[in-house]
């Protein structure tokens, strides 16, 4: 049976029941379509309070449909009703084709025609329920961040027709790669159906990251042509290898964007409820994308919770990473870790049984909230990222901070266990290889005259900007990459590695490659740095053998000894001296020495395990 969701298209009693929500619409219809796109029927839905519903006999899974809503058209008041705008069902579990930009989608009421020919249709589906098992992943293990399309689009061992899809992640060669890296969970960048930002098509660019969703529960047909069955099969294959699956979800905005954007789904159903508005009626933009979901509204909360339940019930995923998660806790007075939605996520028996990871910031006022989320949320720790980069770049006075980061960042996270997700590089920003090869971002290919992306990357180029044939510079960069990776794998808490960083992928200095669906983001498997890959494989093996490295509890003086470069206990003067550039720590049966020009890891017998 299909998992029980509250709204959408439910197959029942020899037909299909369509249920939609709107507090402001006056009338609503469901439009039915043939595969060729011809509208065959438009049936008015019955209203009961804020719920519109209709049961239609003799319909089956595979039926194409969409909604239409009518009412007041007053955009400055959050009212965008126009029955000529076909609307994707927010509860659709599938759409018949990817979203494409078309001028008609941006037309205003009375200015354009019917948008049905230009919009994907929702599809009635009845996916098989997944046999639920406890989450495979637990904090402390390595998370491997993947852009589904870019990861396998060039992989030589994967059948051409499967490359760039979720199904390719279950290929034996990919599973073997995960296993040798001791990957505990893959984290898939957004797989829900998305649309390109409207400025990209004129530039000949496409959004490849997926952080611009329209339908939260419908898998994007470009990366999941087999729909929920494809995701189910991939999750099962990964689970059979002991690997969990975490989905990156975007519940902070939709691709409908600002006042000039397209009416695709939520905007046409009830924008005043689903999006945050200022007192003057304008859209609040705490996301930098034109609109912000109103996560205080009960219906928005219901949609988010039901979307998560769909991923759990239909595919058995092990957790979620929440993009710009501060939005989930925004109230009129600012961010609150005890906001209703965050409390529900943390207490709901079904959802809280999965791993929950917050990206603890947005771009609105007081948007940076690292360390402020409550358990069980893990948090992306950008201070770990920045402080480790600063240390290996050679910045002075970093030793005390580095020690804190290695030990789990107790200055940020309260309690008995750290909630940190440590990383050196992520999808957003420079790749690991580019951090040591570029001092400046190089985003000209994005068509924004290099204005987009972060300006401060805490990177260093070893004397030459970008590609160079100089062997001495190449060797220095290789050592720096290995030191960064060794530091990451020797740190307490959960680790995250972005796919391809284990073998030197480059984006040519582009630190905002969201629109580069091309060789800039496609992973080059044939020309990867296999020596670096073997080094990371060894690091992963070492971490798996020493349980003390995988712990998430905070270290005490009984657990660790801190020594200076001479092997003597660190005293107050050494800790505070900005000229101190080296640190030794004794952790269990390991002695780890960091800086200024070397990482040295030895076991209790003095055998050198790593020197780089």
Q: List residues with catalytic annotation.
A: 323, 359
- Taking residue 435's Cβ as centre, other Cβ atoms within 10 Å add up to 27
Beta bridge partners of 334: 331
Do 509 and 445 touch, CB atoms closer than 8 A? Answer: no
Given its phi and psi angles, is residue 544 left (phi above 0), alpha (psi -120 to 50 degrees) or beta? alpha
Buried b (16+ CB within 10 A) or exposed e, 165-188: bbbbbbbeebbebbebbbbbbbbb
Do 139 and 494 touch, CB atoms closer than 8 A? Answer: yes
- The answer, yes or no, to whether the previous bond of 456 is cis (omega within 30 of 0) is no
Helix (H, G, I), strand (E, B) or coil at 214: strand
Do 521 and 507 touch, CB atoms closer than 8 A? Answer: yes
- CA distances from residue 389 to 397, 401, 498, 549, 585 in whole angstroms, order as listed: 13, 12, 16, 20, 19
- Count CA atoms within 13 Å of residue 66 on its CB side: 29
CA-nearest of 136, 250, 129, 139 to 188 is: 250
- How many angstroms separate the CA atoms of 3 and 384, rounded? 40
Helix (H, G, I), strand (E, B) or coil at 230: helix
What the block records as the tokens of 108 is 């205003």
H or E element, residue 411: none
**Kind of pairing between the strands at 244-249 and 183-188:** parallel
- How many angstroms separate the CA atoms of 210 and 254, rounded? 11
What the block records as the tokens of 348 is 């709901």
Given its phi and psi angles, is residue 78 left (phi above 0), alpha (psi -120 to 50 degrees) or beta? left
What the block records as the tokens of 257 is 């964007």
**Kind of pairing between the strands at 355-358 and 8-12:** unpaired
> If you write DSSP's letter for every residue of 325-354 in order, what string do you get?
GGGGGEETTEE-TT-HHHHHHHH-TTTTTS
What the block records as the tokens of 504 is 């030197």
- How many angstroms separate the CA atoms of 43 and 28, rounded? 9
- How many angstroms separate the CA atoms of 244 and 235, rounded? 8
Beta bridge partners of 539: none
What the block records as the tokens of 426 is 């992520």
CA-nearest of 340, 264, 349 to 85 is: 264
CA-nearest of 422, 4, 427 to 188 is: 427
- How many angstroms separate the CA atoms of 430 and 465, rounded? 14
CA-nearest of 196, 4, 172, 168 to 91 is: 4
Do 562 and 584 touch, CB atoms closer than 8 A? Answer: yes
């Amino acid at each position: 049976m299909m998992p029980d969701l509250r709204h959408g298209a439910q197959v029942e009693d020899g037909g299909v029941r369509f249920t939609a929500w709107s507090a402001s619409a006056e009338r609503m219809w469901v439009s039915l379509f043939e595969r060729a796109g011809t509208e065959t029927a438009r049936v008015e839905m019955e209203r009961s309070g804020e719920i519109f519903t209709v049961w239609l006999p003799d319909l089956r899974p595979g039926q194409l449909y969409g909604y239409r809503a009518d009412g007041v058209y007053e955009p400055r008041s959050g009212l965008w009703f126009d029955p000529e705008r076909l609307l994707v069902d927010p509860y659709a579990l599938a759409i018949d084709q990817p979203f494409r930009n078309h001028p008609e989608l941006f037309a205003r009421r009375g200015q354009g025609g019917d948008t049905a020919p230009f919009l994907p249709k929702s599809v009635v589906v009845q996916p098989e329920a997944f046999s639920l098992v406890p989450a495979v992943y637990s904090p402390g293990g390595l998370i491997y961040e993947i852009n589904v399309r870019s990861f396998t689009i060039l992989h030589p061992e994967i059948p051409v027709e499967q490359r760039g899809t979720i199904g390719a992640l279950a290929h034996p060669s990919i599973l073997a790669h995960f296993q040798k890296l001791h990957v505990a969970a893959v984290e898939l960048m957004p797989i829900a159906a998305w649309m390109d930002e409207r400025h990209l098509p004129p530039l000949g660019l496409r959004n490849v990251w997926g952080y611009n969703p329209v339908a939260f529960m419908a898998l994007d047909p470009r990366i999941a042509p087999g729909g929920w069955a494809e995701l189910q099969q991939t999750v099962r294959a990964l689970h059979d290898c002991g690997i969990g699956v975490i989905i990156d979800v975007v519940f902070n905005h939709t691709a409908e964007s600002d006042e000039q954007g397209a009416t695709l789904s939520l905007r046409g159903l009830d924008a005043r409820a689903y999006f945050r508005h200022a007192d003057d009626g304008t859209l609040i933009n705490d996301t930098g994308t034109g609109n912000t979901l109103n996560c205080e509204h009960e219906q928005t909360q219901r949609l988010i919770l039901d979307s998560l339940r769909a991923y759990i019930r239909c595919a058995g995923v092990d957790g979620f990473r929440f993009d710009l998660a501060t939005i989930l806790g925004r109230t009129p007075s600012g961010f609150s870790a005890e906001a209703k939605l965050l409390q529900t996520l943390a207490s709901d028996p079904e959802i809280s049984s999965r791993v929950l990871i917050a990206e603890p910031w947005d771009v609105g006022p007081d948007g940076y909230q690292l360390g402020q989320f409550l358990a069980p949320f893990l948090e992306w720790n950008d201070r770990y990222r920045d402080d480790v980069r600063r240390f290996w770049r050679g910045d002075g006075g970093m030793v005390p901070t580095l020690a804190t980061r290695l030990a789990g960042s107790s200055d940020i996270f309260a309690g008995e266990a750290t909630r940190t997700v440590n990383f050196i590089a992520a999808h957003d920003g420079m790749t690991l290889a580019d951090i040591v090869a570029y001092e400046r971002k190089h985003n000209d290919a994005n068509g924004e005259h290099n204005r987009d992306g972060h300006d401060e990357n805490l990177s260093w180029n070893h004397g030459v900007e970008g590609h160079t044939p100089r062997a001495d510079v190449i060797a220095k960069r290789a050592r720096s990459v290995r030191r960064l990776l060794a530091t990451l794998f020797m740190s307490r808490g959960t680790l995250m590695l972005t796919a391809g960083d284990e073998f030197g992928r480059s984006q040519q200095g582009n630190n905002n490659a969201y629109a580069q669906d091309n060789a800039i983001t496609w992973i080059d498997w044939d020309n990867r740095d296999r020596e670096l890959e073997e080094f990371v494989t060894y690091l992963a093996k070492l971490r798996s053998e020493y349980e003390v490295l995988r712990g998430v509890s905070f270290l005490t003086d009984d657990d660790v000894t801190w020594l200076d470069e001479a092997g003597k206990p660190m005293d107050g003067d050494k800790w505070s001296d900005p000229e101190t550039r080296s640190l030794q720590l004794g952790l269990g049966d390991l002695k780890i020495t960091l800086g200024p020009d070397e990482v040295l890891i030895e076991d209790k017998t003095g055998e050198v395990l790593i020197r780089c």
